[in-house]
Amino acid sequence: MSAEELRVAFWDMVKADHPDGLLLRFLRARKWDTSKALVMMVSTMHWRLREMDVENLVFRGEGAAARERDEGFLKQVRMGKSIIAGRDLKHRPVVIVRARLHKPGDQNAEALERFTVYMIETARLCLKDPVDTAAVIIDLSQFSLANMDYAPVKFMIKCFEAHYPESLGVAIIYKAPWIFQGIWKVVKGWLDPVVASKISFARSPEDLAQHIESSSILAELGGPRKWSYNYIEPLAHENDKLEDAATRATLKSARQQIVTQYEHSTWDWILAHDQPGLVARRNALATDLRRNYIELDPYLRARTIYDRMDYA
């Protein structure tokens, strides 16, 4: 990858994040070793650009999948194999993985990987500053060996450890049956110790209440909240702005100007040894980037079920 490709890939990754926050994820993941953090970040850029084509995945979204009959991907979205539902006590979005709905032969590995990345990218958009991590509940109620599939577990671990570092706040394994004991011994061996330290087990709604407000626990998890996932098919004209290349180009041009100013102010900040005025300037430009992305978003990303049901 050329330097310019890496630069484009980095700013595509930033979205509504503060650029420093994105860099800090990789630095923390590699314990402040800048060389290792750079290698990790470049590897992620290559993965996003060349392997997963993440920007194209979110640009096309559910509507394109429906038109092209991508049934492997759509089946998982429609059934809600993983869903985003509410926030935990630390205001992190809660992603629930409903393992009982997974059947290894129902979709190919590529469709499952696309769905996994699609869910992670969607959950990223649910973050509210200063919260920068998500909570994941792996619901193993009604789980049996017929649902077990090591390949997607490995892929999910790879995503969180290699490509979305420091994005997982907590992972709660809920109502694990006795057969999971042997599976857990295998899976735990694949985990980085930092990720493993974020995993806890819960067996009841009372256990979940240590992480989630009791009144917000879904009925399907044994709580009082009577909300269920019902998929809403893509609406006519909801993605019309994706066809407006002229407006997209105008907003991207404006974004590029902000990016250039941010890069220049960063050089000034480094050379001037942290003068307060330059810090404020960089933060103001980061805010401008966030506002620009919010305006640009409907021209870059197809609407999701969470847009259609106005997830908050």
pLDDT tens digits, one per residue of 201-219:
999 999 999 999 999 999 9
User: What's the confidence (pLDDT) of residue 66?
Assistant: 77
User: What is the residue whose two structure tokens read 């630069």?
Assistant: 7
Share of residues in the chain with pLDDT > 90 (%): 85
Between residues 97 and 8, the one the model is more confident about: 97
Mean pLDDT value across residues 12-18: 91
Angle at CA 47, nearest 5°, toward 70 and 91?
Answer: 80
CB 301 within 8 A of CB 16: no
User: What's the confidence (pLDDT) of residue 308?
Assistant: 93
CA 57 centroid distance within chain = 13
How far is Cα 125 from Cα 143, in angstroms, rounded to an integer? 30
Mean pLDDT value across residues 172-181: 96
* Topology given in CATH for the domain delimited by 56-221: Phosphatidylinositol Transfer Protein Sec14p (3.40.525)
310 pLDDT band, cuts 50/70/90, is: confident
**Pairing between β-strand 93-98 and β-strand 82-87 as defined by DSSP bridges:** antiparallel
CB 287 within 8 A of CB 211: no
Share of residues in the chain with pLDDT > 70 (%): 99
How far is Cα 234 from Cα 39, in angstroms, rounded to an integer? 39
Residue 91 has pLDDT above 60, yes or no: yes
CB 142 within 8 A of CB 100: yes
| Sequence ranges of the domains in the chain | 3-54+237-308, 56-221
How far is Cα 269 from Cα 45, in angstroms, rounded to an integer? 25
Mean pLDDT value across residues 134-154: 95
CB 223 within 8 A of CB 99: no
User: What's the confidence (pLDDT) of residue 312?
Assistant: 52
Backbone Cα Rg of the chain: 20
Between residues 96 and 1, the one the model is more confident about: 96
Least confident of 22-26, 66-70, 160-164, 251-255: 66-70
Residue-averaged pLDDT of the chain? 93
311 pLDDT band, cuts 50/70/90, is: low
User: What's the confidence (pLDDT) of residue 70?
Assistant: 83
- Comparing CA positions, the residue from 310, 243, 304 lying closest to residue 117 is 304
Angle at CA 168, nearest 5°, toward 162 and 169?
Answer: 150
Q: Kindly report the three-state secondary structure assignment for every residue of the chain.
A: CCHHHHHHHHHHHHCCCCHHHHHHHHHHHCCCCHHHHHHHHHHHHHHHHHHCCHHHHHHHHHHHHHHCCCHHHHHHHHHCCEEEEEECCCCCEEEEEEHHHCCHHHCCHHHHHHHHHHHHHHHHCCCCCCCCCEEEEEECCCCCHHHCCHHHHHHHHHHHHHHCCCCEEEEEEECCCCCHHHHHHHHHCCCCHHHHCCEEEECCHHHHCCCCCHHHCEHHHCCCECCCCCCCCCCCCCCHHHHCHHHHHHHHHHHHHHHHHHHHHHHHHHHCCCCHHHHHHHHHHHHHHHHHHHHHHHHHCCCCHHHHCCCC
Residue 26 has pLDDT above 90, yes or no: yes
Least confident of 4-13, 79-88, 297-306: 4-13
How far is Cα 110 from Cα 70, in angstroms, rounded to an integer? 11
CA 223 centroid distance within chain = 26
User: What's the confidence (pLDDT) of residue 9?
Assistant: 87
Residue 161 has pLDDT above 90, yes or no: yes
End-to-end CA distance of the chain: 38
256 pLDDT band, cuts 50/70/90, is: very high
